[in-house]
Amino acid sequence: MDVPLSWQLAKLAVSIGIVLGLSLVAERVSTRMAGLLSGYPLGTAIALFFIGLEISPGFAAESAVYSLAGFTATMALGGGYLICGRHDGLKGVLSGTAGGLVAWWLTSLVLTRFELDRLSGTLVTLAAIFVFTWLYRHVPEARTKARSGGSRWRPLLLRAGLATAIVFLVTGLAHVLPTSWAGMLAAFPISMYPLLVILHLTHGAAPAATVIKHYPAGLGALLCYALCVSLTYAALGLLWGTLAGFAVATLWLLGWMRLQAWYGTRRATGS
């Protein structure tokens, strides 16, 4: 079907806004917080919403089932990027991207061979979260320093353009792919990958590695979102299904952050 220009402009505006917002969080707050927020249902929400708008809510709901397992492929992308993108500058970005995409494609290829449902897809990603969190336990923390001046906006806008291109590619391919691959593409790190590129080019490989390290911890919100919309899109429609998904994801993220604060306080007091 022909996609109205207004829908295309909406995808453009939302995609750019998300990437710029995450980049400012990474620079002004911390890369750790940016990594957690990268797991919030931002890029996936955009992709699934516009897939439902352009094709059908039912197709988007079925795709979301495979997105549940697709977040494992996203973590594989982060692992491939971490291993291959150890150099600073453009060389590190290109090698990290190549390694990450190969890891994502191979993992997605394996996952789409199985008939997944909500339970199996969720369990696959939960297991992967524990595995990747354990593997990343020795990755050092690195903070970024805020850069002043208007020169920082040029790379941010360029990277935001990358996120927009990914959104258009994902939603466009969904028209010609089965729900399994549409779901895998919807789980692609639409917001995290441009953030990695921004941090890698402007601050080096270490801050990008910190985002990757904390990304699995934020995936609970994405799992909650994908699970919710897979159940509500067909029954409630795109608008109410999306709002319900964000509500569930926000509750999970708030609970997770409170749990982390409680654990940090216990460690600090030695109790």
Percent residues over pLDDT 90 in the chain: 46
Q: Return the half-sphere exposure (C-beta side, CA atoms, 13 A cut-off) of residue 82.
A: 20
Q: Cβ of 141: how many Cβ atoms within 10 Å? A: 13
Average of per-residue pLDDT across 37-61: 85
Are 163 and 19 spatial neighbours (Cβ–Cβ below 8 Å)?
A: yes
Question: Which pTM value belongs to this model?
Answer: 0.84
* 260/254 Cα distance (integer angstroms): 10
Tokens of 49: 């919403």
Output 13 or 181, whichever has higher pLDDT. Answer: 181
Are 90 and 100 spatial neighbours (Cβ–Cβ below 8 Å)?
A: no
φ, ψ at 41 (rounded to 5°):
-70, 80
Percent residues over pLDDT 70 in the chain: 83
pLDDT band at 133 (very low <50, low <70, confident <90, very high): very high
pLDDT at residue 145, rounded to an integer: 62
pLDDT at residue 2, rounded to an integer: 58
Q: Does residue 208 register a pLDDT over 60?
A: yes
φ, ψ at 136 (rounded to 5°):
-90, 5
pLDDT band at 110 (very low <50, low <70, confident <90, very high): very high
Residue with tokens 């797991």: 39
pLDDT at residue 230, rounded to an integer: 95
pLDDT, mean over the chain: 84
Longest Cα–Cα distance of the chain, Å, equals 61
pLDDT, one tens digit per residue, over 136-183 is 988 888 776 655 554 566 666 776 777 788 888 998 899 999 999 999
pLDDT at residue 126, rounded to an integer: 94
φ, ψ at 4 (rounded to 5°):
-60, 150
Question: Nearest CA to 55 among 175, 181, 199, 148?
Answer: 175
Q: Does residue 16 register a pLDDT over 90?
A: no
Question: Nearest CA to 76 among 129, 27, 26?
Answer: 129
- Using N-to-C axis directions, what is the helix angle for 57-84 and 238-269, rounded to 10°? 40
Task: Please report, as a single letter, which amino acid is at residue 217.
Answer: A
Q: Does residue 240 register a pLDDT over 70?
A: yes
Average of per-residue pLDDT across 240-247: 93
